[in-house]
Amino acid sequence: MAKVTGPLFSLSASGKIGDCMVHFGWKGRNVVRQWLKPTNPRDQQQKEVRQALAAAGKNVKLVKGPQTGLLSGSKMYQMLVADAPATQIWNAHLSKNILEDLAAPAALTAFSAAMFATDTIDKWREMATSLGFTTLAVGDTFATELSPELQLAMGAYAAYKLELSSYTDVMNTYPSNWTTDEIENFACDYTTVM
């Protein structure tokens, strides 16, 4: 039910009237718009997009999360800030480079197959769990299970794609070909200072 002050003069109003219109304040003005029923699609495509976004979000959170206790941010954070174009913030820059190539289900499946075919998958898993990555489980929100090691590898893919300065030697190599030392160094950059 809408609350109105001076109903004939429409001095102010807030709330919904039926399923027709919504009155609210916006930037100091009283405005009205058509009421739209909120939707939350649970179709396969939406789940796949949410899954890729969640993996990107986990990487962003761990790069500059409060759990690192680093006032100036981690080494990875510093590199992303330095690499981000003037029109983008570092977290959007990282997410964009994760999602640009890996958000499509076929691309993520191919990436996943390449990663799980490596001899170093146990090291990816060890480093991902030590950083705090957890499995994104199938359900109403996600289409397929996304393991911790695959989420960390998605962050490594973004670093590979961006050719971040710390990885100039490694970056000539796709993340599925990294050695255990390279994987460990990459994971440490999430929690150490430059």
Domain positions in the chain are 3-34, 44-188
| Distance (Å, whole) CA 84 – CA 158 | 12
Structure pTM? Answer: 0.75
Q: Worst-scoring range by mean pLDDT, 8-17, 80-89, 97-106? A: 8-17
Q: How confident is the model at residue 130, as a pLDDT?
A: 93
Q: How confident is the model at residue 136, as a pLDDT?
A: 85
Say yes or no to pLDDT of 144 above 70.
yes
Mean pLDDT over residues 60-81, rounded?
Answer: 76
HSE on the CB side for 21, CA within 13 Å?
9
Diameter of the chain measured on Cα atoms? 74
Which has the higher per-residue pLDDT, 1 or 79? Answer: 79
Say yes or no to pLDDT of 91 above 60.
yes
56 token code pair: 């990107």
Per-position b or e across 79-106, b if 16+ CB within 10 A of its CB? bbeebbeeeeebbebbbebbbeebbebe
pLDDT digits (tens, 9 = 90+) for 120-129: 999 999 999 9
Among 148, 57, 145, smallest CA distance to 109 is for: 145
Q: Between helices 44-63 and 90-102, what is the axis angle to 10°?
A: 140
| Distance (Å, whole) CA 189 – CA 63 | 8
| Distance (Å, whole) CA 108 – CA 150 | 10
- Answer whether 178's CB lies under 8 Å from 156's CB: yes
Among 186, 160, 184, 162, smallest CA distance to 174 is for: 160
Q: Other CB atoms closer than 10 Å to residue 184's CB: what's the count?
A: 15
| Distance (Å, whole) CA 186 – CA 178 | 10
